[in-house]
Amino acid sequence: MAASVSASSAATGISPVAPEGVAQPTVALDGLTPAEVRGMREAAIEVAEGQRVLAKAGLNVVGELLRGHDTFYEDDHYPTGDVFDGETGSQYYYHAHRGIELEHGHFHTFLRGPGLLGAGADVTAAQADSVPGHDDLVHLVGVSMDPWGFPMALFATNQWVTGESWLPAVELDPLLPNFAIDHAWPSWPVNRWITGLLALFRPQLRALLAQRDAVVAQWQQKRPQSNALQDTGLELTGWLAIDPRRQAEELDALYDADGMPRNQQVR
């Protein structure tokens, strides 16, 4: 079955703009292995399917997640209590606050518990050295959504923004595939969509996390008397516009260049 991937810029003709002063890392896909290309292309199909089945019901990712809420309040978590998969240790919530231009709100995504401990990660918390328990969170990436319910950007944050335990990018990188919400609450399409989105844009996520560490280190070097991780003057450490359709097209080109057969089309 053919699937359709939509993106904010493709659907609205409006391209998202990076917040002023926030760095944008450069990401290239030409160094991916064939296995990585296949995995990301499968993720593109998951993203497409999630959006397709919601659109058939007149919904989008954000509308589906907020369904049943009469009022959308800034800073509140949606759904209440967040979404957590106890087997994978993956967690996310959606909320909004003033900040990024054209943004309706954004997802925050995390790993905790089995998502970290199962791999034997050595996590350094912001305030003390510790191996995290089930209540400790490590933030992966934020997903910025436009007013039409399409993903428009990924962004990385400083530690104080989410109160996370701090895991350096080099240690977090091998744990990224652990993120998966593999149950139906509060929405099976949304859970599959966000799982697929983080897999589809894994190179961008890796670049944002590496840049995050570099930005925090530079901030600390310039302000040796402060704790950079707790400095509210540093909020966003990186931002990247995303377009699922364009990413899928680049993956198709890599498929063709490597002579790999396409079992499903992404368009």
Asked whether residue 164 is assigned to any structural domain, the reply reads yes
Distance CA 212, CA 74 (A): 26
Asked whether residue 180 is assigned to any structural domain, the reply reads yes
Tens-place pLDDT, residues 167-215: 999 989 999 999 999 999 999 999 999 999 999 999 999 999 999 999 9
User: Contact 69/164 with Cβ under 8 angstroms?
Assistant: no
What is the domain extent for residue 47?
A: 40-258
Distance CA 124, CA 242 (A): 30
Asked whether residue 34 is assigned to any structural domain, the reply reads no
Asked whether residue 156 is assigned to any structural domain, the reply reads yes
Asked whether residue 266 is assigned to any structural domain, the reply reads no
Mean pLDDT value across the chain:
84
What's the number of domains the chain is made of?
A: 1
Rounded mean pLDDT of 225-233? 95
- Quickly state the pLDDT bin for 4 (edges 50, 70, 90): very low
> Is residue 54 over pLDDT 60?
yes
Per the DSSP assignment, residues forming a β-bridge with 129 are 124
Asked whether residue 264 is assigned to any structural domain, the reply reads no
pLDDT at 29: 93
Asked whether residue 32 is assigned to any structural domain, the reply reads no
Tens-place pLDDT, residues 81-130: 899 999 999 999 998 876 666 888 999 999 988 888 654 444 443 333 34
Asked whether residue 120 is assigned to any structural domain, the reply reads yes
